[in-house]
Amino acid sequence: MEQLNRRKFLTYVGTGVTALTVASTGLGALTEKVSAAEKVKANSHLFGFKKKVSGLGFTPIDVSTKDELRLPKGYKYDVIAAYGDKINKKGDTFGFNNDFTMFFPIDGSNDRGLLWVNHEYSSELFVHGKKQGDTYTKSQIEKLLYNQGGSIIEVYRDSEGIWKMDTDSKYARRITGLTPFNLTGPAKGSKTVGGATTVQGTFANCSGGMTPWNTVLSAEENYEYTAADAGLNDTHYGWIVEVDPFNEKFTPRKHTALGRFHHENAAVGTTNDGRIVVYMGDDKKDACVYKFISKYKYVKSRGTDNSKLLEEGTLYVADMKNGKWLPLTIDAVREAAKGDSELLDKFQTQADVLVHTHDAAILLGGTPTDRPEDVEISPFDKTVFIAHTNNDKHGNIHGHITRFIEEKDDLGSLTFDFQIFAAGGSQNGFSAPDNLTFDSEGNLWTVTDMSGSAMNKGVFTSFGNNGIYVIPTMGENQGEAYRFATAPVDSEITGPCFTPDETTLFVAVQHPGERSKDLNNLTSMWPHRSGDTMPRPAVVAITGFKY
């Protein structure tokens, strides 16, 4: 058994949940945890992965409160696209508050490709200009909707090694709160979505994922506000949407079989028998972790027709107390609701279960957790990492990263074990883990999202601004965090995505200067472009990774 060092002990104690376990059962519970860690270690084979660049080949940087995107020595970044920039010849513009990014190589290139970028929310001060207390004008609602959704931009690395946007691109276009979408799956056309088979637009697009058939999944998270402001039916939002960045004829769609909640992202994998599995977190206090398993198997030669796999299957919620994935079926929900006429009235069809996923999940015994943000599948051992960002409702102030170990390493298993992989707190140097991605060395790249009002105050002082951290998932330093970047004032860094050769890391800097009171009192001017008069969310390419 691995000896538990003091630092690791403190790490475990730092998380509210485990602290309770320690207090109630003594060190026996920790012995269990260490055994799980040993199991993970034994499973940590590289599955033919060729190490590309050294993810840990940098000197970690200090905390910062400065209005800059600070990187370790030897690394630099290029601003590719900022809010309001023209992205194509038609004159479409880059949306606000960029989040998830996903790089799609063109002809296998690591130097040219399409970059999908989510746009999560809008701003009164910087976008539509509505004053508090006023009602929206038609043009303000249009701006509100246009600047959310997604951007498809073409990006390339020029002969000098600088990443730029190609505005002559034939692919570049916007998906917005005004774009028509098809609904798919059990809730399509159902009473509970007002009979709709098509809906208007996507917004609140937080993080996402990529399918094996090369389309993008984008997650609608805090949809209520925009739906209410724009007078739209909120059952048409809170879904996972799918877009083919290369093909405008592929109608954007919302897959109701994957449930409706505050979707953070969608991590796609395959079960051992070839079905598609999608892991998802519901980013809300005391909300659950889900996975969808398709009914049918993935067939590579079918290309984007595989999208149909996301229309039929079973949605499961994680019961972490029993290590079980519970199927969210109408029969199970009605059985659990027996004797409660209000619930029986609410849940009459599978569409009702999907539209009210969280309520159904809690009814069946899904475990309420501490704001599950990004979920990612380790490409090395198929363990599943979940960023539980924090939950001040019961003392998990700095959050933690949970690791699910599926039975027999099969993503199709309906039983699992889990451990707390890393905990936020001053002992580890980070707070509020959010988006996650892996490099080929098995390091987990983690960005943080402390809120603007909390940052650099009280128990958050020691963390400085938000940042990027690199956490090994195997070897003797597993679970320890190394600071790679610090973010401009008021911002969070989101959407980390490597090119396949890992020589470039794309990230989005979201809401710099968010706490500015007015345009004459700005807290940030990032990205400090000459001639600019306000801060702008922007996507950047970080280079300097060494072979």
C-alpha angle with apex 183: 179 to 186, nearest 5 degrees? 165
CB of 228 or CB of 519, closer to ligand FEO: 228
Torsional sign, CA 450, 290, 295, 333: negative
- Minimum separation from the CB atom of position 508 to ligand FEO (A): 11
Binding footprint of Ca ion, residue count (CB under 5 A): 3
CA 301/CA 52 separation, integer angstroms: 28
Among 92, 154, 221, 311, binds ligand FEO (CB under 6 A): 221
- SS3 call for 488: coil
Q: Which of 71, 117, 127, 206 binds ligand FEO (CB under 6 A)?
A: 206
Residue 221 interaction partner, one of ligand FEO, Ca ion, none, beta carbon < 5-8 Å per kind: ligand FEO
Residue 527 preceded by cis peptide, ω within 30: yes
State the alpha helices, DSSP H only, in 167-223: none
Nearer to ligand FEO, 134 or 224 (CB): 224
Q: Looking only at residues 78 through 97 of this chain, which bind ligand FEO when binding is defined by CB under 6 A? A: none
| Concatenated DSSP letters of 373-424 | EEEEE-TTT--EEEEE--BGGGTB-S-EEEEEEEGGG-TT-SBEEEEEEEE-
Contact between 98 and 117 (Cβ < 8 Å): yes
Closest approach, Cβ 284 to ligand FEO, in A, equals: 9
Phi and psi (nearest 5°) for 345?
-70, -40
Subset of residues 354 to 373 that bind Ca ion, contact rule: CB under 5 A: 373
Task: Determine, following the binding rule CB under 6 A, whether residue 373 of this chain makes contact with ligand FEO.
Answer: yes
Nearer to ligand FEO, 373 or 441 (CB): 373
Name the pairing type of β-strands 369-370 and 285-287: antiparallel
Do 487 and 464 touch, CB atoms closer than 8 A?
Answer: no
Instruction: For ligand FEO, give the closer residue by CB, 255 or 263.
Output: 263
Give the residue closest to Ca ion by C-beta.
Answer: 449
CB of 527 to ligand FEO, least distance (A): 21
Q: Is 300 helix (H, G, I), strand (E, B) or coil?
A: helix
Torsion of CA 283, 84, 174, 490, to 10 degrees: -10
Which one, 283 or 352, has the nearer CB to ligand FEO? 283
Total residues interacting with ligand FEO, rule: CB under 6 A: 6
Of the residues 67, 85, 92, 120, which one makes contact with ligand FEO according to CB under 6 A: 120
Least distance to ligand FEO, CB of residue 204, Å? 8
Residues 430-459 that bind Ca ion (CB under 5 A): 434, 449
The answer to the question of residue 376 lying near Ca ion (CB under 5 A) is: no
Which two structure tokens, joined as six digits, stand for 501? 């050769």
Nearest residue (CB) to Ca ion, 319 versus 373: 373
Q: Is residue 176 within 8 Å of residue 241, measured between CB atoms?
A: no
Q: Which of 242, 244, 264, 352 binds ligand FEO (CB under 6 A)?
A: 264
How many angstroms from the chain centroid is the CA of residue 481? 19
Dihedral sign, Cα of residue 228, residue 233, residue 235, residue 237? negative
Task: Work out what residue 480 binds among ligand FEO, Ca ion, none; the CB cut-off runs from 5 to 8 Å by kind.
Answer: none
**Could you say whether residue 283 binds ligand FEO (CB under 6 A)?**
yes
Q: How far is the CB of 281 from ligand FEO (least distance, A)?
A: 8
Residues 127-186 that bind ligand FEO (CB under 6 A): none
Q: Binding residues for ligand FEO, per CB under 6 A?
A: 120, 206, 221, 264, 283, 373
